Structure 1
Amino acid sequence: MSNDEVIVLKQHCLALELRSDPIKGRGVFTKERLVRNTLVEISPILLFNEEEYASHGKYTILDQYTYCWQGGYALALGLGSMFNHDSSPNVGFIRDIPNKLIRYVTLRDIEKEEELCISYGNHLWFEDDSNDQTQVSSDEDEPFPFAADDD
């Protein structure tokens, strides 16, 4: 896939909504049942190089929303920055480095009204109320469970 190719954002046909939780903050919920391997979102990213991020970004709220990325840090646009953490996530993500995108895919069937959550990895800056800590990857650059799609 080249950078000139159009990527159809067909995932927006899903019935999703943002809701606020007093502890977690805003999160993404589904209004319909989603089956495993459903593409939920394709988020374009804004890339911050390492120097720019070290000088500015890490001192702002962006520090809580960025992903490790080749050459720096990425801010996911769209719903990509709205997924809350769970140590047993129901959504995984795939970094598409060449196209500067992150794809979010369901890891299991998800029931109507359920929150869609990803894993933020091992280095959390908050107390984790999730019950199961066993599914988090030891690779801090890829919290769960996919590798970059370099094709």
Structure 2
Amino acid sequence: MLQQHPGLYFAPSGKHRYGMFCIEEIQKESVIEICPIIIIPGEQAKEIVRSHVLYEYYFEWKKESIAIALGYGSLYNHAAKPNAEFLADYPNQYIVFKALELIPAGTEILVDYHAGTPDEKVWFEIK
């Protein structure tokens, strides 16, 4: 089930090359997007993690698998102080993005990809 907040768009970002924005404000705790995923298991996942164009777009999934989010799910940029979060819905195989605070119209939507482990390094370059 793909569900998106009305007015989401992908555009050039001042901090990152491109990012996700919304033409309307998004209220705190609102669902921004529910993204179905493609699960990539074990050995195939290891290959992508090592040397694939999808390296910067995957989410860790349970049991050594990774997931590629459909919709805009793999396009939200990282920030140490995010205005949104993502939650894995394992039973339904979705990734849910929610607003942590009021996000004004035209503001880039940012998530923290440390996924609950703030001391762990992320796998991509932080700009």
Supply the AA of the counterpart residue of 2:55.
D
Instruction: Give 1:32 shift.
Output: 1.2
Aligned to 1:90: 83
Aligned to 1:34: 26
Supply the AA of the counterpart residue of 1:34.
I
3-state SS, counterpart of residue 87 of structure 1:
coil
Q: Work out which of the residue numbers 108, 123, 130 in structure 1 matches 2:101.
A: 108
3-state SS, counterpart of residue 24 of structure 1:
coil
Q: Deviations over 1:99-137 (max 9, x none)?
A: 110010000001111000111113232134xxxxxxxxx
CA distance in structure 1 between the partners assigned to 2:15 and 2:32 by the alignment: 24
Greater gyration radius: 1
State the TM-score, normalized to the length of structure 2.
0.85
Supply the AA of the counterpart residue of 2:110.
C
Matching of residues 63-82 of structure 1 within 5 Å: 63-71=55-63, 72-82=65-75
Supply the AA of the counterpart residue of 2:121.
H
CA distance in structure 2 between the partners assigned to 1:127 and 1:98 by the alignment: 31
State the TM-score, normalized to the length of structure 1.
0.72
Aligned to 1:127: 126
Gaps of 5+ in 2: 115-119
Gaps of 5+ in 1: 1-6, 129-151
- Percent identity of the aligned residues? 28
Aligned to 1:132: none
3-state SS, counterpart of residue 64 of structure 1:
helix
Residue range with higher mean Cα deviation, 16-25 or 57-66: 16-25
- Count of residues paired in the alignment: 119
Instruction: Give 1:92 shift.
Output: 0.6
CA distance in structure 1 between the partners assigned to 2:73 and 2:23 by the alignment: 18
CA gap 1:22/1:90 in 2 versus in 1, 3 angstroms: closer
Instruction: Give 1:21 shift.
Output: 3.0
Instruction: Give 1:27 shift.
Output: 0.9
